[in-house]
Structure 1
Amino acid sequence: MARAIAQQSRVIHGYKRAFRTGGEGSAIMFIHGIGDSSRTWDDVLPLFAENHLVIAPDLLGHGDSDKPRADYSIGGFANGMRDLLAVLDVERVTLVGHSLGGGVAMQLAYQYPHLVERVVLVSNGGSGRGVSTWLRLATLPLAPELLQLLRLPISRTGLSASLALLRRLDHDLGVDATDLIRIIDALPDARSRQAFARTLRAVVDWHGQVVTMLDRSYLVENIPTLMIWGDRDGVVPFRHAGQARLAMPYASLDVFHGAGHFPFRSDPGRFVMTVEQFVRSTAPATWDHDAWQRRLRTGPEPEDDLHTWTGI
């Protein structure tokens, strides 16, 4: 039976951090993508809460959390997740990160491996250079103003018509049309749009993605890792899964055929079943500082050296 999910918040470092939580048992933290919020997980949180304590934060600058002029880097977000777990007195979690949230999950696992039992990466950012053209455009200087224009009725009509055309043309972006419009609608004011732009510019420029965890992923190879990807992803191309597998041969990959950038929204039941099976079939990671230090000193194996990160 699905469990109720409650909206809560805590003030950390002077800023309100909103999150959704419910259930009890082993903890799972769900980290949303750029411009999104914890509400993106609405279809799956009550189901996971049947067996787990679920925690779905609104990243700083997103959703109902405060939107200050602050650090919106991947490392900054990872620190925020660590602090929230400490405030909630949660010692260890399985991380489920979507898109940008996948990058935050990997950064948290890299910075604070003793907190992490498992990692689930969903349509993960940071696995290749490529990214959709609309995200590249959103890094330009006047992007917040352009996002405001997209909320005007005439612009909304044009955007909806464009996405409908993409659906008719069977373009991958058309698969995610509903969710892309939902995210634009989640940026109602100037502070939200400025926070979105700051976050995006920290990870993307006109040439594509600029942040990767692939060069450090060997350090978390003892943490059970599952990747979930839709093969019709028009935001972070599905081909990036191949690059991620090269860097993380220890990770499993589950492909949602026909799904786009939000496989947990297009098929919530399968998503819950896939993640639950992964949790049941893997033991929580154990933290060994000496082994981690030795691995850091030796570096990645030659075949895993991805410092020449080209993206595929």
Structure 2
Amino acid sequence: MLELKTVQTHHVPVRYIEGGAGPELVFLHGAGGVTPEDPLLNTLARDHRVIAPLVPGYGDSEEAPAIRDMLDFTLHTWDVLDALGVRDPILVGHSMGGMIAAEMAAVQPHDVSRLALIAPAGLWDDDHPIADLFATLPYEMPALLFHDAAAGAALLTAGRNVEDPGFLQQYLVTNARQLGMAGRILFPIPERGLKDRLYRIRARTVIVWGDSDRLIPPVYAHAFKKGIAGAELVSIPEAGHMVVLEQTEAVAAAIARLG
């Protein structure tokens, strides 16, 4: 069973999800956040001690004005692992979390030996621009994030009407808080020079991408593979950017290649 806990860091108390037993695996979530009910976390917890820190400002966690740029996010996440006494876990990141995980592995290459990047942000190609999450309305999200938009809408809304004013109000308030934090590294484009640091990554790396990703096109998968020496690419059919929800077992199997 996964539980929400709290650990104190230099900047703020950090909420994190923890559960399972086995080798330590740290999961860094995307811009949409993560909860203890997340299917991938629960699947990974069958064989790992899973630790998933929330970015400050997500869920019921405190915001952290002192975390302002990519280096701050990177060092803050290392601070979280230090506070938890975690050393050389399997480091997994999805989307925004993949961007942070890649930066962590580049900044401290001797402290990350196994790395899984699931459709990470962090690179930019003018010929293949990444969709602007900050200008996307709720009803547009399922088609952008999922291979199966109808099934994706059901997952995102739990049956609620995305055009209902009450839903929209709650959505906008939550997004203002969460994306306000995420925007520090994702807005106006999710690129902070990572391409010039990928060569520093020494971890055994698996890159996981849904073939139908409309948010961050699969062309970026090949850019990451080229930039990280020895990286392995696992392409997953019938999955979009939320491959972690659409093809949970396939993603877990790809991560399992790291041991």
Q: TM-score, normalised by structure 2?
A: 0.82
Question: How has the CA–CA distance of structure 1 residues 258 and 78 changed in structure 2, closer, same or farther, with 3 Å as cutoff?
Answer: same
3-state secondary structure, aligned to 2:100: helix
Question: How has the CA–CA distance of structure 1 residues 251 and 185 changed in structure 2, closer, same or farther, with 3 Å as cutoff?
Answer: farther
For the pair 1:264 / 2:244, whether they are aligned, the reply is yes
- Distance in 2 (alpha carbons) for counterparts of 1:68 and 1:185: 26
**Counterparts of residues 107-146 of structure 1 (less than 5 Å):** 107-129=103-125, 130-133=129-132, 135=133, 137=135
Q: Deviations over 1:186-220 (max 9, x none)?
A: 97675861451342243331xx4332422111111
Unaligned runs of 5+ in 2: 159-166
Q: Does structure 1 retain, via aligned residues, the 8 Å contact 2:4–2:16?
A: yes
3-state secondary structure, aligned to 1:202: helix
**Paired amino acid for 1:55:** I
The residue aligned with 2:223 is 243
Residue 29 (structure 1) shift: 0.3
Question: How has the CA–CA distance of structure 1 residues 10 and 229 changed in structure 2, closer, same or farther, with 3 Å as cutoff?
Answer: same
For the pair 1:203 / 2:183, whether they are aligned, the reply is no
For the pair 1:89 / 2:85, whether they are aligned, the reply is yes
- The root-mean-square deviation of aligned C-alpha atoms, in Å, is 3.0
Percentage identity across paired residues of the two chains: 24
- Distance in 2 (alpha carbons) for counterparts of 1:187 and 1:116: 38
3-state secondary structure, aligned to 1:279: coil
The residue aligned with 1:214 is 195
**Counterparts of residues 1-312 of structure 1 (less than 5 Å):** 4-13=1-10, 15-34=12-31, 36-39=32-35, 42-129=38-125, 130-133=129-132, 135=133, 137=135, 159-160=138-139, 166=143, 174=149, 176-178=152-154, 190=173, 193-205=176-188, 208-220=189-201, 222-276=202-256, 278-280=257-259
Q: Deviations over 1:124-158 (max 9, x none)?
A: 1013242114x2537xxxxxxxxxxx6xxxxxxxx
3-state secondary structure, aligned to 2:93: strand
Question: How has the CA–CA distance of structure 1 residues 136 and 44 changed in structure 2, closer, same or farther, with 3 Å as cutoff?
Answer: closer
**Paired amino acid for 2:56:** L
Residue 269 (structure 1) shift: 1.6
Q: Does structure 1 retain, via aligned residues, the 8 Å contact 2:8–2:83?
A: no
3-state secondary structure, aligned to 1:128: coil
Choose 1 or 2 for highest CA Rg. 1
The residue aligned with 2:161 is none
Alignment length (residue pairs): 246
**Paired amino acid for 1:238:** P
Unaligned runs of 5+ in 1: 139-149, 151-158, 281-312
- Distance in 2 (alpha carbons) for counterparts of 1:212 and 1:178: 36
Q: Deviations over 1:232-284 (max 9, x none)?
A: 111111121122222225110011111001112112122222211x122xxxx
3-state secondary structure, aligned to 2:77: helix
Question: How has the CA–CA distance of structure 1 residues 186 and 247 changed in structure 2, closer, same or farther, with 3 Å as cutoff?
Answer: farther
Q: Does structure 2 retain, via aligned residues, the 8 Å contact 1:125–1:236?
A: yes
- Distance in 2 (alpha carbons) for counterparts of 1:104 and 1:113: 13
- Distance in 1 (alpha carbons) for counterparts of 2:236 and 2:52: 23
Q: Deviations over 1:2-50 (max 9, x none)?
A: xx1121112223522111111233211000011x223287112233223
Q: Does structure 2 retain, via aligned residues, the 8 Å contact 1:32–1:97?
A: yes
- Distance in 2 (alpha carbons) for counterparts of 1:198 and 1:5: 25
Q: Deviations over 1:71-118 (max 9, x none)?
A: 242322222221111111112211110001011001111222233121
